[in-house]
Structure 1
Amino acid sequence: MLTGKQKRFLRALGHVLKPVITVGKGDISEALIKETSEALASHELIKVKILESCLMDRHEVAAELSAGCQAEVAQVLGRTLLLYKAAKEPRLELPKEAKAKK
């Protein structure tokens, strides 16, 4: 589970990214999940564009893709998703949780 600080960090990095995956008219298929998993394995952080012809709700698409790929949803903004999955050898170093103040 990502903290708010980590999501903010990922959103800042994802701002300049171009969409790697496009979700079209069909439902979320095994092929789409496999393609998304491969993209996450090579990039760690990807943008997914949902076309207007997609019949599913954008939050449903985010939930199904993240569950199928064991990824975290960093952002859902309009018809664009930002997905993150740490690689075996991570290239992105996420900010640590802040220590609780007493």
Structure 2
Amino acid sequence: MLTGKQKRYLRSLAHHLDPIFQVGKGGTNDQLVRHINDAIEKRELMKISILNNCLEDKNEIAEELAEKANAELVQIIGSTIILYKESKDHKQIELP
């Protein structure tokens, strides 16, 4: 579980990142989760964009992706989700 100070730090790092994945009309699926798992292991911090044509609730999508990827939900801002997961092999971010 992340503290408020850690979440603020991660939000500041994520500010300059571009979304890597998009969730559209089809919602989430196993293939998307698998790709997110692979990418978050290498990057530790990522943004995911939710498109306007997505019919599901963005909060539910964020919780589902964080749970399935074993990641921490840092923030939902607008239609963008920020996820963090500490990498085992490619550790780059040192939390305060």
Deviation at 1:5, TM superposition (A): 0.2
Match of 2:95 in 1: 94
Instruction: Name stretches of at least 5 consecutive residues in structure 2 with no aligned partner.
Output: none
CA distance in 2, matches of 1:21, 1:83: 12
TM-score (norm 2): 0.96
CA distance in 2, matches of 1:30, 1:86: 21
Deviation at 1:72, TM superposition (A): 0.3
How many percent identity over aligned positions? 46
Q: Which runs of 4+ in 1 moved over 2 A?
A: none
| Greater gyration radius | 1
Match of 1:58 in 2: 58
Instruction: Name stretches of at least 5 consecutive residues in structure 1 with no aligned partner.
Output: 96-102
- CA RMSD across the alignment: 0.7
TM-score (norm 1): 0.91
Deviation at 1:27, TM superposition (A): 2.3
1:1-102 residue pairs with structure 2 within 5 A?
1-89=1-89, 90-95=91-96
Write out per-residue CA displacement over residues 19-47 of structure 1, whole angstroms, 9 at most, x where no aligned residue. Answer: 00111111210001001111101100000
Q: Which amino acid aligns with 1:56?
A: E
